[in-house]
Amino acid sequence: MFEHEVRFYRELCGGTGAEHSARVFARADAARVEIFARRCTPKKRVYSGGALGETPQYDPRAERVDDVAEESARRTVVHTTTSGVFSQRRRYVLSRRGDSWLVDNVQIYDDFKGAWVRGIL
């Protein structure tokens, strides 16, 4: 999603007016839907998508893979740490569908709760 968010944000900034914004957001939403269809398990995702910006939530340049745990032949968990001012521990749950691994969900470790909480893809 990193390239998607940055590319459409720059396009949004390159024009003016409500019609321009509506066209850019419509294309960005269609691209997001296609990315989710290719890379994520099919399920309702209430809070996903819609954000555009120069500093997206997911930035592969700022996230280090710490561990990969194969829990079963169909489920793998990837543990990561983000860098920056607000460092986070994340875990991505991947599900095997046929010959592909798809992102099922992401969880973020909440230091105050001492537990993993649901993240937004």
Strand order of the β-sheet with 115-118 is 63-72, 75-82, 89-97, 100-110, 115-118
Quickly state the pLDDT bin for 46 (edges 50, 70, 90). confident
The confidence score (pLDDT) of residue 57 equals 65
* CA 96 – CA 72 distance, rounded (Å): 10
Model pLDDT for residues 91-114, shown as the tens digit of each residue: 999 999 999 999 999 999 999 999
Are the C-beta atoms of residues 5 and 60 closer than 8 Å to each other?
no
Cβ-defined contacts of 103-111 (< 8 Å, 24+): 103/39, 103/40, 103/41, 104/40, 104/41, 104/43
Q: How far is C-alpha 113 from the chain's CA centre? A: 23
The residue extents of the domains of the chain are 1-57, 61-118
Model pLDDT for residues 14-40, shown as the tens digit of each residue: 888 899 989 888 888 888 888 889 999
